[in-house]
Amino acid sequence: MSLIERAGLAALHRLDPERAHDLSLKALSTGLVPLPGKPFTSPRLARRLAGLDLPNPVGLAAGYDKNARVIGPLTRAGFGFVEVGAATPRPQPGNAKPRLFRLTEDRAIINRFGFNNEGAEAICARLAARPRNGVPVGLNIGANKDSADRAADFAHVASLAAPVADFLTINVSSPNTEKLRDLQGARALSALIQGVLDARNASESRPPVFVKIAPDLDERALAELAAVLRDSGIDSAIATNTTLTRDGLASPYAGETGGLSGAPLFELSTKMLARLYRRLGGSVPIIGVGGISSVEQAWAKIEAGASAVQIYSALIYQGFSLAERIARGIDARLAAENTTLADLTGSAADRWAA
């Protein structure tokens, strides 16, 4: 981490977390954040995932650039792929503030934003106008809080986004929209996925469709969900979203409602990833997300079954340079151990799932 980046993070941490988040977006848009310009890549790191060519397997998770306002800078920040959103059909303000909490003692955050965004039309217009530089950009899609038909909301956003996004992520696992996680049930999820796939298939570009799952599923729910993912025709799963658990936290904000992400999520999300990998048997690739803040943790996610990984919360504590540091570290370790990403993926799934 450079001195400039360290000083910038220190300044942001003196501010209210949501204010700091907004200022970081402005800093990116005005060019104040030093960026590498392109993702680090090598023959060892480049891989194809669900029809997407990734220069490296380290992506940005959804939630940072909710309104797709800084896609250009983010694709120059070292990520191998970028996910923006979540987008809902109509704009919505989200939940009341404060709704973002920095748990410094735990290297974590809690958020209860509630899908605050400017609406799918505005977001998709920015996706259409984005620079094309070899870094895939996808959209996380959601439903309005007051919708009478949430499955129809997902399909509507998919129809708008399919022509302009490189991939679509069905987000039925956010804990911050009431009863949204009920859509992870087998029957509801199957119908929802089919609606999104139908909307996707009406587009000439036909981008791959991913489904993001929660880390708090019991074994029965996971088995049902895995069967749906395996049989539905989706292109990838993302494991996992934030958690509602609060085990072992030291921060005075530990009791705040919302989704917990960051370091405390790592073990829980990695175990869920490994359990899902074993149930899918390699039939659907998985993107691992949750608590990654180092090369070693990204490596562990891949060993547990991830074909690629995403980071977000750790950027609050380590800055955007973390993406390139992880990519370079994975590349160096692959070379040192004379192995490949393909051979590494799932090699320790049994151990993590135990």
Catalytic positions are 174
In the beta sheet, which residues pair with residue 149? Answer: none
Which of 317, 318, 270, 320 lies closest to 291 in space, CA to CA? 270
Which of 349, 314, 348, 297 lies closest to 63 in space, CA to CA? 314
Residue 304, both tokens: 């547990």
Distance CA 233, CA 236 (A): 9
Backbone φ, ψ for residue 342 (5° rounding)? -65, -45
Residue 266, both tokens: 């790592």
Q: Provide CB contacts within 8 A for 252, sequence distance 6+.
A: none
Q: Provide CB contacts within 8 A for 178, sequence distance 6+.
A: 145
Q: Provide CB contacts within 8 A for 39, sequence distance 6+.
A: 55, 56, 58, 78, 79, 80, 135, 323, 324, 327
Q: Containing H/E element for 162? A: none
211 and 227 in contact (C-beta within 8 Å)?
no
